[in-house]
Structures are given as structure tokens and as C-alpha cells.
């Protein structure tokens, strides 16, 4: 098949720092050609990919994240190009709302749209209106169950990780790790409380986006003492992998309907157990008692941190190799592509 992958425009593929969708797109672009497919990637011009890259913007613009004018230029460029090219069998869209909303106005090849966000007050009305107009892929069973009635679901394909790029460490240090977008939904303030109550060191790292600056200054920063509670801010990919690999546990006390949560499989790939609150996809990704602990409240989470020694790091890694490998994800998408192309 000849496949167009349409990434969001704001972050390069692969992402130099924050970015979940862009890792998934990168894995597809690298994983499909060895299976005999030709891939063209529409993404920011400073992306690096095994696919052919076509870009409207020469560089990613994370500082303009979610600004519609950027999205419109990027998607319009991609759609014009796809139509002019005329040779694609399928378009796999990861880029937000424009393609599902307007593809019926155009004579495009079959489209698959992966929903990378959660269903909420802002997004659900969109899917009420456009949920039946394009086949959608969900990234967890939980996410799919949250969708409004009438959605055209093509399948559920879990995200993946290039396991071999993540170091496996069996002998862990003593610190807890909280890593990701620093915001209330990801529960950094609860991770701090869990560290206090267990007397453990907590290392936190991740980007503080504009909309979460107040949260960071009010609920996180005042607790950072550089000793028991450490905040490293945005870190390099190498440091990120090191932090995950050596942590006693990855704490994920989230307060939102996580649609997948790549950070959980990043921890597990390094053999680090995940101790999380039961929200969204968490119980699908973490096998309670086997690769970590899934609890209903902070008391339960704190108690579970004391049981992390029961989890075998090798089992965590093996579970990622089995359930969240790039090969598995690419194969699952390939099967959906074939079905969509055949149903045209």
C-alpha cells in the first residue's frame, strides 16, 4: 500500500521532548516500509523519518501548540498534495479535527483517524457531529467506551514503544519518579504527597506548558527542596530514559481519563513498576499485582508503594515486549488499513 501519515504540525517527528502522538507516527513511518509499504509523512519540516517527508512549515512550533491557523495551513497543504499526487491507497490522520470534519467535501482515498486525545466537554460534541463520518481508531478500550453513540470505530490499537531503545535495569535506586506534562491531570501534587507519606525521595521532570504555569507555581514548586523533592524540568531523551530505568517505582496518581499513557509503558520497558490511580486506560496498561499496582485512592497508592518489591522488573519488560511492541502496533494498523482499503 501507499500510505500518507498526517502528523500534527506543532512538534517534530520524532519529538525532541514532549510528544506522544509523534512517537506513534514515527514508529509507523519506520515500521511500515519493511513490510512492503510506501509511506509519505506530512509533518513539521525538521522531522527525521525513514518515510518521504513533505512539509508546509520548515520547523515545528511547540510555542504555538494547538493554534488553529497553524493546523489549517499544515492540513490544507497535506490534503492538496494528497489530491494532486493521486496515488495513495490510504490516509492515516493523527492531526486533530480538520480531516474528520472536511474529508467528505473532498475526493480522498480511505481515511483512518486515530484519536489521541480524551473525550471531554470540548471534544465530545465534535465526535457527536462527526463520529460517523470517518473510521476512527481508539488507543485504549477505555477511550473507545467513552465515545458517543454512532461512532464509526475501525478498531482499538494500543500505542507502542521501541523496547530495545530503553535500558533495562533490574537493580533500582530508591527514588519515586513522576514524569510527563506537569499539570493537575497528571497528579504531580499527589505524587509529592505520596513521597511525603512514604518518606521516599521523589524526582519529578517534564514540561510545564503555558496553561499549567499557575498549577506548577502554586501546587508543585513550593514543595521542591532539591533533596527529598526534586524537580528537573525538561530533560534530554537520554536523561529521561535514565530516570525511568533507575526509579524504584513510577508513580502515576492521575486525575483525568487518560486515553493511553505512553509514560506507563516507558517505565515498564525499563523494568520499573507503575503505581497508579485507577483512571482511564490505567487498568488496561498496568496489570495489577504483576507489573505494578492500580489503586482507587491516594491511601491505597501510598500503601502499594510499600509492596513494589513484589514486582519482578523482568516481568514488566516482558509484558511490554509482548503487548506494546512496535511490531504489534504496526501489524494491528496494517490489518485495519487492509480492511478499509478493501471496503472502499
Q: What residues make contact with ligand UDP under the rule CB under 6 A?
A: 17-20, 23, 180-181, 206-207, 234, 240, 260-263, 266
Q: Residue with C-alpha cell 485507577?
A: 278
Give min distance, CB of 289 to ligand UDP, in A.
Answer: 23
Q: How far is the CB of 191 from ligand UDP (least distance, A)?
A: 14
CB of 204 to ligand UDP, least distance (A): 10
Q: Cell numbers 496494517 correspond to what residue?
A: 334
C-alpha dist (Å) from residue 262 to 56, 135, 144, 320: 28, 23, 17, 11
Q: Output the smallest distance, CB 53 to ligand UDP, in A.
A: 21
Give φ, ψ of 149 to 5 degrees. -60, 150
Cis before 14 (ω within 30):
yes
Shortest gap between Cβ of 217 and ligand UDP (angstroms)? 17
- Rounded CA-CA distance 242/166 in Å is 9
Closest to ligand UDP by CB, 205 or 336 = 205
Burial of 238 (0-12, 13-18, 19+ CB in 10 A): exposed
Distances (CA, A) of 289 to 146, 165, 271, 274, 278: 26, 26, 14, 10, 13
Is the Cβ of residue 92 or residue 240 nearer to ligand UDP in the bound state? 240
Please state the closest distance from residue 207 (CB atom) to ligand UDP, in A.
4
Are 114 and 136 in contact by the 8 Å Cβ rule? The answer is yes
Closest CB to ligand UDP among residues 180, 313: 180
Contact present, 52 and 67 (Cβ < 8 Å): no
Amino acid at each position: 500500500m501507499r500510505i500518507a501519515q498526517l502528523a500534527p504540525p506543532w512538534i517534530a517527528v520524532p519529538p525532541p521532548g514532549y510528544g506522544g502522538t509523534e512517537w506513534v507516527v514515527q514508529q509507523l513511518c519506520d515500521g511500515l516500509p519493511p513490510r512492503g509499504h510506501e509511506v509519505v509523512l506530512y509533518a513539521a519540516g525538521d522531522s527525521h523519518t525513514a518515510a518521504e517527508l513533505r512539509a508546509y512549515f520548515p520547523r515545528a512550533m511547540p510555542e504555538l501548540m494547538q493554534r488553529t491557523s497553524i493546523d489549517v495551513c499544515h492540513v490544507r497543504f497535506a490534503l492538496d498534495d494528497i489530491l494532486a499526487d493521486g496515488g495513495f491507497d490510504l490516509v492515516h490522520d493523527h492531526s486533530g479535527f480538520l480531516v474528520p470534519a472536511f474529508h467528505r467535501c473532498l475526493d480522498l482515498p480511505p481515511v483512518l483517524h486515530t484519536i489521541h486525545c480524551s473525550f471531554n466537554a470540548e471534544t465530545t460534541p465534535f465526535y457527536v457531529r462527526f463520529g460517523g463520518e470517518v473510521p476512527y481508531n481508539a488507543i485504549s478500550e477505555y477511550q473507545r467506551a467513552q465515545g458517543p453513540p454512532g461512532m464509526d470505530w475501525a478498531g482499538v490499537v494500543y500505542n507502542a514503544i521501541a523496547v530495545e531503545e530503553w535500558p533495562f535495569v533490574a537493580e533500582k535506586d530508591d527514588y519515586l519518579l513522576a514524569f510527563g506534562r506537569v499539570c493537575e491531570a497528571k497528579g504531580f501534587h499527589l505524587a509529592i504527597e505520596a513521597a511525603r507519606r512514604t518518606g521516599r525521595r521523589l524526582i519529578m521532570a517534564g514540561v510545564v506548558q503555558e496553561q499549567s504555569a499557575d498549577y506548577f507555581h502554586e501546587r508543585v514548586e513550593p514543595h521542591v527542596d532539591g533533596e527529598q523533592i526534586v524537580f528537573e524540568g525538561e530533560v534530554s531523551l537520554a536523561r529521561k530514559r535514565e530516570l525511568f530505568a533507575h526509579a524504584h517505582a513510577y508513580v502515576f496518581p492521575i486525575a483525568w481519563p487518560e486515553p493511553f499513557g505512553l509514560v506507563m509503558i516507558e517505565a515498564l520497558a525499563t523494568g520499573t513498576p507503575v503505581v497508579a490511580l485507577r483512571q482511564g486506560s490505567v487498568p488496561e496498561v498496568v496489570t495489577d499485582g504483576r507489573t505494578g499496582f492500580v489503586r482507587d485512592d491516594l491511601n491505597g497508592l501510598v500503601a502499594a508503594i510499600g509492596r513494589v518489591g513484589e514486582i519482578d522488573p523482568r516481568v514488566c519488560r516482558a509484558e511490554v515486549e509482548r503487548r506494546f511492541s512496535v511490531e504489534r502496533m504496526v501489524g494491528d494498523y496494517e490489518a485495519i488499513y487492509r480492511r478499509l482499503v478493501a471496503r472502499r
